[in-house]
Structures are given as C-alpha cells and as structure tokens.
Amino acid sequence: MGEDVTVRVTDADRAAAREGVRRTSRGTTIGGIGFVLLATFAGVVLAQELLPALTGVWRAIASAAAAGALAMPLLLGVSGMAKRRAIESGSEQTAQERIMRAEARRREFESRLSRALEMSDDEEAAFDVVGRAMRAAIPDTPVELLLADNSHAHLERVVLAGEEAPGCPVDSPDGCVACRRAQTQVFADSEDLDSCPMLRGRERGRCSGVCVPVSIMGRTVGVVHATGPVNEPLEDEAVQGAQTLANQAGNRLGMLRVMAETQLQASTDGLTGLVNRRSLENRMRRLRADGMAFAFVMADLDHFKVLNDTYGHEAGDRALRIFSETLRFELRADDTACRYGGEEFAVVLPGVDLHEAVDVSERIRQALATTSGRGDVPVFTASFGIAHSTDAGDLDDLVGRADRAMFAAKTAGRDRICLDGHSTPVVAGLSALA
C-alpha cells in the first residue's frame, strides 16, 4: 500500500485539451481577419475623404497605407490576446492533469485500503492495516488513532504511525473538538485564538494539527490526529487521505464488532453468559483431535424445580447466574464451563486427571455453599459427576458416563461428587477414590 501510484492521462483527455487550444486559435484567427477587413474598408474610406485628388494607383497605395496604420495596433492586440489565451489554456490543462492525478491516487488508495481491511479478521489485524495506511497516506508525519473504550468514556491510542506520537492529551470523545462537531478540523497554529486547546502546551512547542473524527455505527467514538510544523498543516491531498482512512476504518471496525457480537450470541447462553452446548462440544472435539486428555464434569442444581415453584422463576434465574459466577471464579482460563441445558452444567478440564477433577469440583461445591446464602436467593446445592476422556470411546460415551455418575450423586443424597463407574460419593482430599 506504500507503493507510488502511476497515473496516466488518457488520449481522450489530451485530445480534449488540444481541441480547446485549436478552438481558441480559430477564434483568434477569424477575429484577426475581421479586424483586417474592417481596417481595410476604413482605410479606403479615409483615403477617399481625405485625399480626393488622388486617382488610380496612388489612391490604392494611400488606402493600403491607411488600412495598415489602422490594422497594426489591432493585429498586435489580437496577437497578444492569442498568446495569453494559449498560455492560460496550457496552464488550465496542467492544473486539470494535476487534479486528475490526485483524484486517481485517492481512488487507488481507497480501493487498496478497502481490500486490506476486508482481509482483517479481528480488530488487531484492522489496527495493523490502519497503521500501514497512515504511513502511506501521510508519510513522515506523526499520526495516531484514538478510540473510545467499551465504556465510551475514555479515549485510548490504538494505532501510532511515525517516530514519535503526536501526543494528544484528550481523554474522552466529549473532550475532542472534532468528535463533538463530527467534522474534520484543521489548525494552522496551536497558538491561534480559535485553535483546539489540546494543541497547546505540547513538549515540542507550537505546531499545526489536523483532527478527523471516526464514527462506528453512527456514533463518533474516535479521532485520527496528526501534527506538523506551525503554519504548515497537512496538504489537502493528505487530509483527504486521513478522511478516507477514518471512514473506512470506522466502517470495518463496526462490521467486525457486529460480527463478534453475533458470534458471541450464537455461542453463549443468554442468561448465564457461559458458552452453550454446541460450543462446548466443539471444544471437546478440538481437544480430542489434538490428542489432549481432559476430565469432564456434569453438575446439576439440587431441587431446582422446588426452588422455582416456591420462590418463583426469578429466584431460579438468580440461582443459575450465581452458580455460573462460581464456576467462572473457580476455573482456570483454559477450562470451559457450559450451561448444558435447564439446570444442568458441564465443565471441561484439559490436562486434568480424575483426582484433580475431584479437587476442582469440591472447590466449586464449597464455594457454592458460601455464595448461595445471599439474601436474594435461598441456599441451594449441586450434585457432580466426573468422567475422563481416556476412559470413553467417543463424546457421547463420555457424556453418558459423567451423567450416570451425577445421577449416582443425586441418588446418594445430593450435594455430592461421584466418579464414573462408582456409586459411592467421593470427598475431595481423600487419597482413596473408592
């Protein structure tokens, strides 16, 4: 994207320019001939009026002399006018070619930037493209992209191009003039009365500045900010490049966020925020394909129907969320917790054997005994069943083993942990897993 763009003016453009010069020349020639004829007629009339005694050849000579005297200034004027028009026409052609080259460069940059951003699968990749585009569109100039965080209350630098940062101290979209006005702002001198206050007091002293707002899904949430020498702000072509960059970056980031939100909704449970059953099964398939052994835990809230019928569905929903929070707090980053369906939950523990899985389940069980006693929901417990991937033929077999172990824990009195193949509950910390 940093390559120079070679722009060719087409034959049609050159032909149009040459035709303009020819029209000017034809008009000037016709006008000159008209002036000469008029001057000749006037010379004849003057010769006849002023020199009536002349006859024959002498009258013709006098008429020609008078016509020449009248026509000469006119011809000189017409010649000068023709030269000026030719020069102006050539200047206009050169200016038009410059405009065409700049417009072609802008279109080429816009197309290449669009293609590069389309290949960005996440925001980090998009930020990398934006940084390279900044260096291509605004070379040798400190440029940064500031974006609001998730709260939309703070601006953070996410992209920097150049050897040093422009260093805008603005800390929120509301504090940025370009964001508030939703318009590009160009400031020639940071000390001008109407310059942005954020430009003043920079370590490098007085400067010029350009600020281009960035909008994502109709909301202004960031700014592309560049600085330069005082009274030397970015040229119009560079400003247009910054605007193109801001528009396309905002569009792509908005699309990526919509896609991420859609994917999140498709892979998570709306009530608890845990991944759903399909996502958990995909996770287990990847682990098996990679040859990674793992423990699988099934958990079921005890007497959940009674809780719902006695205290209402809102209390039941709160119980589900409390258990989900307990799982998230007690599990590792590599572990995966899932709402398997209804009041059933499942946990995948990569690289964990049965003994370690019992310890993890017991931590969850004890933590639940503490957190479920909050005033907004009655005390409740859960029963756990554990199986291991190395003992199962396939995923259905693994889930069936854990489910049967959980049923054994329910049968044994609930609030218990049972292992695959054992009907007697186990307690965390015991060396013998009978």
Q: How far apart are CA 121 and CA 423, in angstroms?
A: 49
* pLDDT tens by residue, 13-25: 555 555 655 565 5
Structure confidence by residue, pLDDT tens digits, 181-207:
999 999 999 999 999 999 998 888 899
With the CA atoms of 69, 74, 75 and 77 taken in that order, what torsion angle do they form, in degrees rounded to the nearest 10? 140
The conformation of residue 334, written as its DSSP 8-state character, comes to T
List the single range of 74-78, 110-114, 177-181, 193-197 with lowest mean pLDDT: 74-78
pLDDT computed for residue 140 by the predictor: 85
| DSSP 8-state class, residue 275 | B
Neighbour-count burial for 173-187, b at 16+ CB within 10 Å, e otherwise:
beebbbbeeeebbeb
Question: From CA 382, how far away is CA 384, in angstroms rounded?
Answer: 7
Q: pLDDT digit string (tens) for 233-291? A: 888 888 999 999 999 999 999 898 888 877 777 788 889 999 999 999 999 999 999 99
- What confidence score (pLDDT) does residue 162 get? 80
Q: Please, are residues 387 and 348 in contact by the beta-carbon 8 Å criterion? A: no
Please say whether the beta carbons of 295 and 357 come within 8 A: yes
Say how far apart CA 193 and CA 187 lie, in whole Å. Answer: 10
* Pairing, β 417-419 against β 382-388: parallel
Average pLDDT value for residue range 366-388 = 86
CA 305 to chain CA centroid, nearest Å:
48
Contact between 418 and 406 (Cβ < 8 Å): yes
**275-314 residue pLDDT tens:** 999 999 999 999 999 999 999 999 999 999 999 888 888 9
411 compared with 47, residue with greater pLDDT: 411
H/E stretch holding 103: helix 56-118
**In the block, which residue shows the tokens 């009248």?**
70
pLDDT for 54: 46
Identify the residue with better confidence: 209 or 70. 209
d(CA 214, CA 205): 26
User: Would you place residue 130 in the very low, low, confident or very high pLDDT band (cuts 50, 70, 90)?
Assistant: very high
Q: What is the mean pLDDT of residues 149-171?
A: 85
* β partners of residue 144: 160, 225
Query: Is the CA virtual torsion 133, 138, 141, 146 positive or negative?
Result: negative
In the prediction, which pLDDT does 423 show? Answer: 82
Cα–Cα distances (Å) from 373 to 271, 311, 318, 377, 383, in that order, read 20, 14, 12, 7, 17
Nearest to 272 by CA among 290, 248, 299: 299
Whole-angstrom distance, CA of residue 83 vs CA of residue 72: 17
**Residue 78: its pLDDT value, please?**
56
- The pLDDT of residue 379: 87
For 268-301, where are the alpha helices, taking DSSP H only?
277-289
* Minimum mean pLDDT range among 63-67, 176-180, 194-198, 217-221: 63-67
DSSP-based three-state secondary structure for 383:
strand
Residue from 74, 93, 75, 95 nearest 21 by CA: 93
| Calpha distance 269→62 (Å, rounded) | 109
How confident is the model at residue 4, as a pLDDT?
38
8 A C-beta contact, residue 129 and residue 113: yes
pLDDT at position 432: 33
- Cα torsion 280, 286, 291, 294 to 10°: value is -10
Query: Which of the 8 DSSP states describes residue 271?
Result: T
Residue 324 has pLDDT above 50, yes or no: yes
pLDDT tops 60 at residue 58: no
